[in-house]
Amino acid sequence: MKTAAEVLRRHEQQLHAQHHKNVSVTVAGQRVLVTLDIVPDEDDPHAVLAAQDAFGDPLATQRVKPDFRLSATSALAWIESGFGKPS
């Protein structure tokens, strides 16, 4: 039987998975990790798209709409655009 703490922890993990996504892509032989963190603010909902190199050094950060779909294709398009505002 699960304890209340286990049920709450599982719920927290599911919420975290819904609000934090990441994808790894290779560009010019370099691995780039692209993350999407959704900020479910009632007044100003948005998401933060970020890229970092294989060493964890930040490459770029961009504020996007909270319904932005992160995929390998959208991550590559963002990187290839010079980290401009995704459409």
> Is residue 86 included in any domain, yes or no?
no
Domain that holds residue 9: 4-80
Instruction: Answer yes or no: is 8 within a domain.
Output: yes
CB 53 within 8 A of CB 30: yes
In angstroms, the CA 38 to CA 3 distance is 29
pTM given for the model: 0.80
Please say whether the beta carbons of 74 and 57 come within 8 A: no
Q: How many domains does the chain have?
A: 1
- In sequence order, the β-bridge partners of residue 61 are 50
List the chain pLDDT tens, one digit each, 87 residues. Answer: 678 888 777 877 776 667 799 999 999 999 999 999 999 888 999 999 999 999 999 999 999 999 999 999 999 999 999 999 987
